[in-house]
């Protein structure tokens, strides 16, 4: 009789302690929250910049500038498609297959698309600069062809990853951190990395040649700026382009490169959450470099009335020449 009474008295005191262990430990913080926040922030900044340049008549940008921002917008959306299906603690261990393979194809194609848009941007920048220094007309057909370069690269990489995933459906899974889906094999990852590497090398070579071209014709470039016909192609522009290229692919320890990111972007759980979060550096960098300007804010401050321009004595050249200069400024307004 004594033993049961002791058990009855002992059991209530130990039961709450055993049941409180799961409550105290709780669930670990979801690693994809910071990931989604960074991409949402980058997407917001890019959309604000893109829409402002699209609707404003006072902001004139190159066609490939719009392509570059649009490619970064697609880049962000590609990594946010799985929102709502990233929690592995739910009843479904994996998101729907077709959603997963669709996102896998997009994220494999996203880095090469941004790199291709960067190449097109640098090429058009050189074409505008060359036409300004040599007083020749820019070929609009070539610029239109440049606009199709990044979409073609995107479609090629996307369908390559999708077709490979359809033929190996068991390899199309969401990574354990829940951030995105990938194809658990090295072939799509290698194709993406090699494509980005080639495009980045081309971009660096083009920028180096543009710098050499500017140095060789520095007297003509200085004269254009002095005469007021080349106020847009300032050193700040080339610094921004250089930071975009070099800043996106300076990789060593605490720095991340576009090549390094592409080669390791779809690795398995060996990669840390910090490395995966760093994938948002590319769209954030583009949004800050090409969107952190007061003229974009003025577009959304529609309630403020514009101050009238004070009348001054006109000492401008003839009307026809002034019109030509204004058109040239619009064509060269790139950032």
Domain segments of the chain: what residues? 30-300
Using one digit for the tens of pLDDT, what is the confidence trace for 112-135? 999 999 999 989 888 887 777 777
pLDDT of 53: 85
- Choice among 91-95, 108-112, 119-123 with the minimum mean pLDDT: 91-95
pLDDT of 56: 80
User: How much of the chain exceeds pLDDT 70, in percent?
Assistant: 61
Neighbours of 154 (CB within 10 A): 24
Higher confidence at residue 93 or residue 307? 93
Cα–Cα distance, 234 to 251 (Å, whole number): 28
Most confident of 6-10, 156-160, 177-181: 156-160
What average pLDDT does the structure give for the chain?
73
Cα–Cα distance, 199 to 247 (Å, whole number): 15
Superfamily per CATH, domain 30-300 = Rhodopsin 7-helix transmembrane proteins (1.20.1070.10)
pLDDT of 242: 67
pLDDT of 117: 93
Using one digit for the tens of pLDDT, what is the confidence trace for 7-43? 444 334 434 343 333 444 445 557 788 889 999 999 9
Tokens describing residue 87: 């929690």
Element (H, E) at 181: strand 181-183
Average pLDDT over residues 91-112: 87
Enter the pTM of the model.
Answer: 0.75
Cα–Cα distance, 156 to 202 (Å, whole number): 19
Tokens describing residue 323: 């019109």
Cα–Cα distance, 117 to 148 (Å, whole number): 9
Q: How confident is the model at residue 223 (pLDDT cuts 50, 70, 90)?
A: low
DSSP assignment letter at 301: -
CB-CB contact of 282 with 261 (8 Å): yes
Using one digit for the tens of pLDDT, what is the confidence trace for 244-302? 666 554 433 334 445 445 445 544 334 567 777 878 888 888 888 877 777 767 777 76
pLDDT of 52: 86
Most confident of 65-79, 214-228, 267-281: 65-79
Residue in the structure block whose two tokens are 């004594």: 2
Element (H, E) at 8: helix 2-25
CB-CB contact of 199 with 120 (8 Å): no
pLDDT of 226: 45
């Amino acid at each position: 009789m004594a033993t049961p009474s002791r058990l009855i008295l002992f059991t209530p005191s130990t039961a709450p302690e055993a049941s409180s262990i799961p409550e105290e430990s709780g669930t670990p913080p979801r690693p994809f929250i910071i990931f989604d926040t960074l991409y949402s922030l980058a997407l917001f900044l890019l959309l604000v910049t893109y829409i402002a340049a699209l609707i404003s008549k006072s902001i004139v940008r190159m066609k490939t500038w719009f392509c570059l921002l649009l490619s970064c917008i697609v880049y962000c959306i590609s990594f946010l498609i799985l929102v709502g299906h990233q929690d592995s603690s739910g009843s479904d261990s994996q998101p729907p297959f077709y959603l997963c393979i669709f996102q896998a194809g997009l994220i494999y194609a996203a880095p090469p698309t941004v790199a291709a848009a960067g190449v097109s941007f640098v090429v058009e920048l050189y074409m505008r600069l060359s036409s300004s220094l040599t007083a020749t007309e820019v070929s609009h057909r070539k610029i239109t062809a440049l606009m199709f370069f990044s979409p073609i690269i995107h479609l090629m990489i996307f369908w390559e990853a999708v077709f490979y995933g359809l033929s190996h459906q068991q390899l199309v899974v969401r990574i354990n951190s829940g951030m995105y889906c990938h194809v658990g094999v090295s072939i799509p990852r290698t194709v993406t990395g090699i494509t980005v590497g080639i495009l980045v090398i081309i971009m660096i070579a083009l920028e180096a040649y543009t710098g050499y071209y500017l140095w060789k014709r520095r007297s003509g470039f200085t004269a254009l700026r002095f005469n007021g016909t080349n106020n847009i192609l300032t050193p700040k522009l080339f610094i921004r382009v250089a930071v975009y290229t070099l800043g996106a692919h300076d990789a060593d320890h605490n720095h991340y490169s576009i090549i390094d990111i592409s080669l390791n972007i779809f690795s398995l759980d060996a990669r840390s959450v910090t490395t995966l979060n760093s994938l948002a550096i590319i769209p954030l960098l583009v949004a800050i470099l090409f969107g952190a300007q007061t003229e974009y804010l003025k577009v959304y401050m529609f309630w403020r009335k514009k101050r009238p321009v004070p009348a001054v004595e006109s000492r401008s050249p003839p009307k026809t020449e002034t019109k030509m200069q204004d058109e040239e400024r619009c064509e060269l307004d790139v950032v």
